[in-house]
Structure 1
Amino acid sequence: MRKTIHNTLFTGLAVASIGLPLISGGFAEKASAEPSAVSMSNGAYSTSIQAPVIKPSWSFPVIPIDRNQYSNQAVAVAENGKVFAVDPNHRLVALEANSGRKLWQYGDQLTPILIHSNGIIYGMTQSGSIYAVTESGKKVWTTPLGFTKADQIHRIGSTVYITQSEQTAAIDAASGKLKWKISEDKNSYSGLGEIMETDGVLIRNYNVQGSLTFEQINAYDAKTGKKLWDSFRTSFPLAVKDGIVYSVANTFMIDDDPVNHKVTIAQYDLKTGKSKGDRQYRWTEPENKDGVYRSGGVYGSAFLYGKDLYVFQGETLASYDFWNYKPDSKPARKWAQNGYDQLVPLLSIHEGRMFYQDFSTSRLTAMKLSSGQFIHYDGDNPTVQADVFGKGVYVGQSDGVFHGYDLMSLKPVFADNTGSRSFGPTLKSGGMIFIQSGNRLLGVKLPASLK
């Protein structure tokens, strides 16, 4: 039996050929163009989106988006009527959100790794130091770390955490004092993007390489950085409650029954990592006659939203009351997902919609939880970046056109031709959105229907 983890991206290439009559001496001769060995066409983007074109209120140059160098790049952040961005000279600048007017600048040789928390902007320098600046541009502190390729910055309570692959550092948010810095084995660990602190324990996830590579969570003493425990083949926690950590266990190539499937939720003591048993959510499927065993994605993943655990069971999405677990309990609700094997769950719900990415078309897709109806936010070119705020869906396409849609009606509300096929995450503050496109930051005043 062949085994695959369901995360394959399919692409298509359209090739066209045409022959024209040749005229010689007044007579039409038979065309002699060589026939193609392969010919196909793709009408997926043959219909253009019709929407009013609006111009940005302002544009400001910023450092170009480079996902190869900074996988979690944040060229800008928007808060409290201001936008904070890294300009082409690697300085932090503050802009008035409505007008784009420059208010101040700070530093140099800065990187596009930024967060805003409690009125402070935290960022990284090219030399690997972390800095803190107030919203008015006043320096609070700078602390050298040697993290020249930092991935992310997180502020949790009174601590700022910085990650760089297998390394983690903890900084006192008020003083900038280094609390601790640790590193796992760089030959087997590769850091992932999630981190949480609860009841004095810091939990971080990694990919860890053994005979196979799987996700692992490590737990540390938040005060000292001392490692308390780890768990291989375990996803970042769904929840931590009453001293128990709940995480999805990866059973790929351990329990691959082609008919009887299950998602296992492992339970660990927060302080010690000692197993507290597990939960199993089971379902059955007809055996796949092509001999392929599918897992992950729509074929066996789960996430928690409030009290509801959503389990993706192949052709079915099921929800359970997570905090009232009973062995072999039946789902509280079920939705059909058949025919959607190219969907990858984004593990998020907004306005009563479950969101997915369709890898066959690159588009953002949603399912109405009230009816089970699937809806597609179709563009006229492949999607590069998609973000949802309130009642708006904002999509940057590979042709450089940026579209704004009404979330509920799917109606295109506006379009903007940015001139770049590169997009970062869209930002929103008040009645403005800020488009990160190429080496420009564009401020766009939203139409009334999307505010």
Structure 2
Amino acid sequence: MEPLTWKIRLAAAAVSLCLLAAAGTASAQSDPRTSYVGNNYDTSSASIPAKEIKAQWTAAMDTVSDDYAMGKGVVATGGGKAFIIQSGQLAALNVQTGARVWKFGSGLQAPLLYRSGVLYAASKTGAVYAVNASNGKKVWASQAASQGAVQLVTDGERLLVNNGDIQAYGLKDGKMLWRIHEETGFIRPIVAEGGLVLGQNSVSGAYTYDVLHAYDPATGKKLWEAAKHDLPAAVKDGTVISQRESTLVEAVDLTTLDILDGKTGKVLKTVIYNPQNMNLKDQGPGAGDFPAWYSGNRIYLNAGNKLYSYPADADPAKTTRDTYSVESVDLRYAAGPYDERILFTNNSRLYGVKTTDKSTVYYGGLRNDIARFDLIGHGVYIIQTDGRLIAMHLRTAKPVVQLKTGGNVFGPSLSVNGMIIVQSKGKVQAFKEPDSLKMK
């Protein structure tokens, strides 16, 4: 063989080996590229260094077809019991064992509400029931119907049922006290707080806008309404603090909170926040209008990949704000502040920011997208879209336990008497809360 021919063949063989070994390198047009290697590794969550456990007990419950309602939760808890609907009956389960303690009624459906030893539920026909949570005996049944209930709430003296209208029943005898009807119903949850019942609906005309309504809880009489205002960020000291809303014809460029008189709805004070020091001439409409809420003695503004915080009663132009963020543009605020953490996610990765020094914590090991997570004790209980729950320590980011639920579309995980309750479509499960995650 000629030396030159031998060298050419050797070089060609070396090039072929490199093309096979190196994914993503350039190649001649004749290279067919018939294979691709991506995330070719074990994607089972069992590879996470956390103890795999089984549920202490599992019970079937009636399926809720509305995924939004399921996400809000359909299980009520209290007095060491979990309350669910099974075959149209209200069933009380011992949270330690899952054993059924009692059952009640027929044709019942979610939502359920537990308050002060009494369980409240509505039937498909609209009858509302109050049931003794200890023994399952009927306390009262309403004569007036509230069909299609989507929310039950108490204000201390009355049971309020939201089914688009609002009905008030006496807590002691179930007598209907009043009914509120607006032309367009209350599709968002109502609020009963600070001696007021607050609801929000939408009004359509040349354009659509929201209206905040305030009612007297004793009589149901409307006290006032405020157009282009959201449900309250807070109700305190006889005032309602509501965020002003943008419309198609009137943009709110910066987060604007109106402090309304609780009795009249009159605007007592307006506070405007501009945490990014925006020059509004250079920005589009609503560029600095971020959702706001109160937590403790601070107010928080959700700007997506950043969370801003101010002292609640301070002038934002004269005080120092805190900023929490993760250096990744695709992450968005998710939860907190809770247990010295504020959480950000893009549904596949989860990060925490410490409220103490604003350093970042990574909650690694997830192999599937996040369906939801809930913060309980010192734990973040993450449920993936494959149905696997992974409980991690919020402060250390260490996985503690994992549970294959086999469910989908999950409600909030709950903590009751040392047990974690997991609710999903058609099923409720429970396991012991890990000692390391308990809030001492």
> Following the alignment from structure 2 to structure 1, what is the Cα–Cα distance between the partners of residues 76 and 349?
25
Q: Give the corresponding residue for 2:13.
A: none
Tell me by how many angstroms 1:240 deviates: 2.9
> Following the alignment from structure 1 to structure 2, what is the Cα–Cα distance between the partners of residues 373 and 44?
30
Give 2:228's aligned amino acid.
Answer: R
Q: Give the corresponding residue for 2:221.
A: 226
Q: Deviations over 1:30-53 (max 9, x none)?
A: 9989x89xx996789958433221
Contact 1:247 1:266 in 2 (8 A): yes
Q: Give the corresponding residue for 1:267.
A: 259
Distance of aligned partners of 1:246 and 1:115 in 2 relative to their CA distance in 1, 3 Å threshold: same
Q: Give the corresponding residue for 2:188.
A: 192
Contact 1:426 1:436 in 2 (8 A): yes
> Following the alignment from structure 1 to structure 2, what is the Cα–Cα distance between the partners of residues 59 and 353?
32
Write the mapping of 1:351-370 to structure 2, written as runs, cut at 5 A: 351-356=339-344, 358=345, 360-361=346-347, 365-370=351-356
Q: Give 3-state SS (helix, strand or coil) of 1:191's partner.
A: coil
Q: Give the corresponding residue for 2:401.
A: 414
Q: Deviations over 1:381-429 (max 9, x none)?
A: 1122321111111122211212211121111111111222332221211
> Following the alignment from structure 2 to structure 1, what is the Cα–Cα distance between the partners of residues 162 and 348?
29
Q: Give the corresponding residue for 2:318.
A: 329
Tell me by how many angstroms 1:69 deviates: 8.0
2:413 is the counterpart of 1:426: yes
Q: Give the corresponding residue for 1:400.
A: 387
> Following the alignment from structure 1 to structure 2, what is the Cα–Cα distance between the partners of residues 103 and 336?
47
Distance of aligned partners of 1:337 and 1:364 in 2 relative to their CA distance in 1, 3 Å threshold: closer
Q: Give 3-state SS (helix, strand or coil) of 1:328's partner.
A: helix
Contact 2:108 2:123 in 1 (8 A): yes
Write the mapping of 1:160-171 to structure 2, written as runs, cut at 5 A: 160-165=159-164, 167-171=165-169
Q: Give 3-state SS (helix, strand or coil) of 2:141's partner.
A: strand
2:234 is the counterpart of 1:239: yes
Contact 2:149 2:161 in 1 (8 A): yes
Write the mapping of 1:68-87 to structure 2, written as runs, cut at 5 A: 68=67, 70=69, 74-87=73-86
Distance of aligned partners of 1:427 and 1:40 in 2 relative to their CA distance in 1, 3 Å threshold: same
Contact 1:427 1:435 in 2 (8 A): yes
Contact 2:306 2:333 in 1 (8 A): no
Tell me by how many angstroms 1:63 deviates: 1.2
Contact 1:196 1:203 in 2 (8 A): yes
Bigger CA radius of gyration? 2
Q: Which segments of 5 or more consecutive residues in structure 2 lack a partner in the other structure?
A: 1-29
2:293 is the counterpart of 1:303: yes
Tell me by how many angstroms 1:181 deviates: 1.0
Q: Give the corresponding residue for 1:281.
A: 273
Q: Give the corresponding residue for 1:110.
A: 108
Give 1:148's aligned amino acid.
Answer: Q
Distance of aligned partners of 1:340 and 1:128 in 2 relative to their CA distance in 1, 3 Å threshold: farther
Q: Give the corresponding residue for 1:143.
A: 142
Q: Give 3-state SS (helix, strand or coil) of 1:433's partner.
A: strand
Contact 1:65 1:439 in 2 (8 A): yes
Contact 2:194 2:236 in 1 (8 A): no
Contact 1:67 1:73 in 2 (8 A): no
Q: Give 3-state SS (helix, strand or coil) of 2:412's partner.
A: coil
Distance of aligned partners of 1:238 and 1:67 in 2 relative to their CA distance in 1, 3 Å threshold: same
Q: Give the corresponding residue for 1:62.
A: 61
Q: Which segments of 5 or more consecutive residues in structure 1 lack a partner in the other structure?
A: 1-29
What TM-score comes out, normalization by structure 2 length?
A: 0.81
Distance of aligned partners of 1:43 and 1:284 in 2 relative to their CA distance in 1, 3 Å threshold: farther
Contact 2:389 2:403 in 1 (8 A): yes
> Following the alignment from structure 1 to structure 2, what is the Cα–Cα distance between the partners of residues 437 and 388?
17
Q: Give the corresponding residue for 1:350.
A: 338
Q: Deviations over 1:289-312 (max 9, x none)?
A: 99866648xx62221112212234
> Following the alignment from structure 1 to structure 2, what is the Cα–Cα distance between the partners of residues 57 and 168?
39
Tell me by how many angstroms 1:237 deviates: 1.6
Q: Give 3-state SS (helix, strand or coil) of 2:188's partner.
A: strand
Contact 2:392 2:401 in 1 (8 A): yes
What TM-score comes out, normalization by structure 1 length?
A: 0.79
Contact 1:316 1:338 in 2 (8 A): no
Q: Give the corresponding residue for 2:359.
A: 373
Identity %: 28
> Following the alignment from structure 2 to structure 1, what is the Cα–Cα distance between the partners of residues 350 and 143?
40
Contact 1:121 1:134 in 2 (8 A): yes
RMSD over aligned Cα, in angstroms? 3.4
> Following the alignment from structure 1 to structure 2, what is the Cα–Cα distance between the partners of residues 291 and 350?
33
Tell me by how many angstroms 1:288 deviates: 11
Paired residue total = 406
Structure with greater helix share of residues: 2
> Following the alignment from structure 1 to structure 2, what is the Cα–Cα distance between the partners of residues 235 and 119?
33
Distance of aligned partners of 1:376 and 1:111 in 2 relative to their CA distance in 1, 3 Å threshold: farther
Distance of aligned partners of 1:70 and 1:251 in 2 relative to their CA distance in 1, 3 Å threshold: closer
Give 1:153's aligned amino acid.
Answer: L
Tell me by how many angstroms 1:332 deviates: 4.3
Structure with greater strand share of residues: 1
Q: Deviations over 1:307-338 (max 9, x none)?
A: 21223456654322222x33722324334566
> Following the alignment from structure 2 to structure 1, what is the Cα–Cα distance between the partners of residues 398 and 193?
41
Q: Deviations over 1:146-179 (max 9, x none)?
A: 43321110011111111013x1011111111111
> Following the alignment from structure 1 to structure 2, what is the Cα–Cα distance between the partners of residues 180 and 351?
42
Q: Deviations over 1:43-80 (max 9, x none)?
A: 89958433221111112111124324846664322222
Contact 1:303 1:310 in 2 (8 A): yes
Q: Deviations over 1:180-222 (max 9, x none)?
A: 1111113xx44211412323x3222334444444443100121
Q: Give 3-state SS (helix, strand or coil) of 1:193's partner.
A: coil
Q: Give 3-state SS (helix, strand or coil) of 2:160's partner.
A: strand
Distance of aligned partners of 1:327 and 1:303 in 2 relative to their CA distance in 1, 3 Å threshold: closer
Q: Give the corresponding residue for 1:134.
A: 132
> Following the alignment from structure 1 to structure 2, what is the Cα–Cα distance between the partners of residues 121 and 415?
32
Q: Give the corresponding residue for 1:5.
A: none
Contact 2:343 2:353 in 1 (8 A): yes
Q: Give 3-state SS (helix, strand or coil) of 2:436's partner.
A: helix
